Chains A and B, each alone.
Chain A
Amino acid sequence: MDSFGEKFGVGQPVRRKEDQRLLKGGGKYTDDVNVPGQAHLAFVRAGVAHARIKGIDASAALEAPGVLAVYSGKDLETDGVGTVMTDAALKNLAGEIMFRTHRLALPTDKVRYAGEPVAVVVAETAYQARDAAEMVLVDYDELPPIVTAAQALAKDAAAIHDEQPDNICLHWENSTSDAYDAAAKTAHKIVSIKLINNRVIPVPMEPKCCLADMDTKSGRMTVYAPFQGGRRVQGALSEMLFGGDGTKVRHVSDNTGGGFGTRSKIYPEIIAIAYAAKKLGRAVKWSGDRSETMVSDLHGRDQVNEAEIALDPNGKILGYKIINYVNIGAWVTENGARLPVDGGGRIVGGVYDIPVLYYSCKAVMTNTVPTDTYRGAGRPEANYLIDRLVEKAAHVMGIDSRELRRRNYITKFPYKTQMGLTIDIGDFPKCQDEACKAIGWDGFGARRKESEKRGKLRGIGLTSFIEGAGGRPEETMRLRFEKDGTLSVICGTFSHGQGHATVYSQILHDKLGIPFDDVNLIQGDTDTAPEGAAGTFGSRSSQMGGMAIIRAADIIIDKGKKIAGHLLQAPPTEVEFTEGQFKARAGSVSVTEIAKAAHDPAKLPEGMPPGLDETYLYKRASRDDMNFPNGCHACEVEVDPDTGGITIVDFAAADDCGVVLNPLIVHGQVHGGVAQGIGQALTEYLVYDEETGQLLTGTFMDYGMPRAEHFPDMKAVFVPTPSTNNELGVKGAGEAGCCGAPTALVHAVLDALRPLGVAEIDMPLTPNRVWHTIQSARVKGAA
């Protein structure tokens, strides 16, 4: 081994050990799994966005070749299949709990969005199932579709759920507006804004897919599906189909091709497939195609914000008022209504010191795919809003936006926010300095002139943002020494692109001195995952999983010292453990030797249970005890005023992800997050037809994904302030990128367009929108 920790320890840019296998096609995704005798399933999906179901005629489908069964909501109801309800229980000011839906996997009364599954057809082959699905006739009584929050709130809007005629799932407020109104009265300036935070489709590379394998002998079902934490699948399916008996359901996913939050929720598709498998006593498989995935994966974002800040003459913010309308789609999902309040609410004031806050949020139901967590989950929206306001205030007040930010940054830590959370640490001015330096802010003027010569408008913009990461406050990890001398990390966190195999190996290499290559990762199977292992969401695995590993390793070291002392004939207090070796009195034994010895009764001290394996349940003190990744992103663009086309010429990210366990991997997370954020801001234009409720952008021919060609060589620097809330000092790195990138891009484009008289623009900045915005500014300017 080369000099200890130098190459493979924490903080080193170790190449991902999983890449060789994944890049060579060695990954095993759900669609790669087939079992003998499996049947195939196809969904009958709603062709209309809003209608009562008058009847379903499956007679032709049932006679089609190879068809085994057709099931609809009525069958699920008859068989007592449970419904999905969120455990969110937010309250309005009067104390009433939000409206919650009880969703049966296949609806019996109404369809509520185009693409909603209405029935399933199971057949011997996938094509037979699909052909027969087209023969299922659903008789609809159509209702007017509603696709925007504004439509849903209109006076005589149709009700999406009859039980909630006003279509409002939740009207949450942090307080009355009295304090804000008072602050506003004393203000020197009020700056207000109205923004649309556009809805996006998450689009993981792997489309939705599921195989439910029913073992009729044992009565146990194994479900394969791409998922970020299998316990949720296990929990939901056992509740819904097996009377709550968790031992009856096993979830397996060797590899999942991207999660982004949209692979963390139990889908009606999975329930319907599991139901069919149980009912038929047969394995049932479904491989969704891209179009199907786009109309049925939970969407992200979709807010309309009306907000203002009150400022004193120096530009110091006195108060912040937000009226937020969130379009949560047709069903109240696990997090749809929670995102703006719990997710975005965590950091609603961004990196700024906000003495007074009034935050009102209406979560509204519409005839669209439900929205839920999507990379960032409420935080990108919150950051976008406050920072657009701060940027606007700088222009209104004639103060350099960098200076105005500086005057408002939180600089004293710990800082208790108006939402009651405590931000432990950060250095926002330094992030700003680093981002500005990386992009060459000071030399911008010359670059702008050069662009002007070519008839182009150049703009530069920045944004500061903060995230709140950590999610559920407990996670269990198991460390097992194998006979071949390797060490296995057995977990419920689930790497679907994050590189856990690499990072956990680095942590263990540092902590226990195990060679990097000798650490295995065993994940993606509820049969092996320890109790209390939740999964990977909300940028939590390094912190929660990493800490559980550290604690388990500490116990191993303690026990190892006792065994080593016994072998080296020294008291355990004299045994030292460094670089994988237990040392006492001239002698030394390696941790792997101790692991072997731990199974040999002759080598163990009296009374000591054999084995060195350890399982540790790590708990944070509280759910609020999270970490706060933050940063400053700067973007430089060139706009072609003749076409409205935007070229990103430079992008610099200064990120504070706390202690960086592996800079290569964190850079990858930053790049990916930025790309996703730029996608929302630049290309991902999602359109629902307001007349018909149909998703008009249901394929890549119309839904624009960000591509490599959209990006310059990105600069990413780290400005770490170690988190004080975990011993590793880490902060979640996964979601920060898309908290900053959209705002930075929009600010840069506004900077470019400002000379033409453009003051506002909404995402996504498609050429069509940019050109029209320029046109209207010109018309106004001429008038």
Chain B
Amino acid sequence: MYAFNYHRPKSTDEAAKLVAEAEDGKLIAGGMTLLPSMKLRLAAPSDIVDLAAVEGLRGITVSGKTVTIGAMTRHVDVQTSAEVKKAIPALAALAGGIGDPSVRNRGTIGGSVANADPAADYPAAVLGLNATVETTKRKIAADDFFTGLFETALEPGEIIKAIHFPVPDAAAYEKFPQPASGFAMVGAFVARFGKDVRVAITGAKDHVFRVPDMEKALAAKFSGDAIAEIKLPDDDMMSDIHCSADYRAHLVTVMAKRAAAKAAG
């Protein structure tokens, strides 16, 4: 780790200002992604702006057909929330499958979504549930939010305040973990809202994406079998020592099929 300045603002305005004024300022939430990369000396921000004391960023509320989760809400809080378990059990289960207890006790939903790791779990839920990302500047639809490898629609200094998840009629998340890290080698989030179905895949390409063919097939018949034969080309799938592109493409079908079967009950 290199030396840095530490700030602990009380409001998002102050936080945004501190980041803007710093030479190379970075927000920190749970630190579960940022700190390891700083320790490995891969990231070297001049200033760290801690969101821990900023008011109004933490907590879960359910109103009508929407679950709102504050950006600073930890994975463990989503995992164990009675409201989330009741409204969107798939989301609570997803949170419970992130990393290990230490990671879940510190890592936050805002940090995970802002970071947009291609293998992270939450992005699949955000896209699969058609969530809205509320920031200090605007509201961003999930379909517009994830733009590339570790890239999002967030502008410099823009802070995620909360994420609004519409409550689906049925949903499930299935993840095949990378054997060493536990991140998703492929994760599939399937959600049904009335006649509409959304399928979001994480871990397979440089960022989370939807599979329209599967969505159409599932809209016609909401069952695992309906998509068992839908195969994706592997030319833009990631390939690494843990998973070749063709295997990833195959896993997309398997995980989506299993998620659909589970959601269908």
Contacts and interface: CB of A to CB of B under 8 A. Distances in A.
Interface of A: 127, 131, 134, 289, 291, 642-645, 683, 685, 687, 696-697, 699-705, 766-768, 771-772
Residue of A645, A683, A700, A704 with most partner-chain B CB within 10 A: A704
Interface of B: 1-3, 39-41, 176, 179-181, 183, 185, 241-244, 247, 250-251, 254
Contact of A643 (B39, B241, B242, B251): B251
Contacts of A697: 180, 241
A771 B180 contact: no
Nearest to A682: B179
A704 B243 CA distance: 14
Contact of B254 (A289, A643, A700): A643
Chain A interface helix/strand/loop/mixed: loop
B181 A687 contact: no
Chain A to chain B: the 10 pairs with minimum beta-carbon distance, closest first: A704-B180, A701-B181, A704-B179, A642-B254, A687-B241, A702-B180, A683-B179, A768-B243, A771-B247, A643-B176
Contact of B176 (A645, A696, A700, A705): A645
A423 B205 CA distance: 56
A685 B241 contact: yes
A609 to B, nearest CB: 59
Nearest to B251: A643
A700 B180 contact: yes
Contacts of A131: 2
A699 to B, nearest CB: 8
B181 to A, nearest CB: 4
B247 A702 contact: no
A289 B36 CA distance: 12
B176 A768 contact: no
Contacts of A134: 41
Contact of B180 (A643, A703, A772): A703
A251 B39 CA distance: 31
Residue of A127, A687, A766 with most partner-chain B CB within 10 A: A766
A768 B254 contact: no
B179 A766 contact: yes
B96 to A, nearest CB: 13
Contacts of B185: 767
A700 B181 contact: yes
A706 B186 CA distance: 21
Contacts, number: 51
Contact of B241 (A645, A702, A767, A771): A702
A768 B40 contact: no
Given A703-B180, A704-B179, 17 more contacts: A127-B3, A134-B41, A643-B251, A644-B247, A685-B180, A685-B242, A687-B241, A697-B180, A701-B183, A702-B180, A702-B242, A704-B180, A767-B243, A768-B242, A768-B243, A768-B244, A772-B244
A73 B80 CA distance: 56
A548 B199 CA distance: 68
A697 B180 CA distance: 10
15 contacts: A131-B2, A643-B254, A683-B179, A699-B40, A702-B180, A702-B181, A702-B241, A703-B180, A704-B179, A766-B179, A766-B242, A768-B244, A771-B247, A772-B244, A772-B247
A199 to B, nearest CB: 14
Nearest to B244: A768
Contacts of A704: 179-180
A532 B179 CA distance: 45
A767 B2 contact: no
B192 to A, nearest CB: 23
Nearest to A710: B179
Nearest to B186: A643
Residue of A642, A697, A704 with most partner-chain B CB within 10 A: A642
A625 B41 CA distance: 51
B184 to A, nearest CB: 13
A607 B185 CA distance: 78
B235 to A, nearest CB: 18
A702 B243 CA distance: 12
B97 to A, nearest CB: 12
A134 B2 CA distance: 12
Nearest to A706: B179
Residue of B1, B3, B179 with most partner-chain A CB within 10 A: B179
Contacts of B180: 683, 685, 697, 700-705
A705 B100 CA distance: 14
A696 B241 contact: yes
A198 to B, nearest CB: 13
Contact of A771 (B40, B181, B250): B250
A717 B3 CA distance: 55
A767 B181 contact: no
B179 A767 contact: yes
Contact of B179 (A127, A685, A696, A699): A685
Contacts of A766: 179, 242
A718 to B, nearest CB: 32
B54 to A, nearest CB: 29
A694 to B, nearest CB: 12
Contacts of B244: 768, 772
B238 to A, nearest CB: 12
Given A643-B254, A696-B241, A702-B241, A767 B40 contact: no
Contacts of B242: 685, 702, 766, 768
Contacts of B176: 643, 645, 767
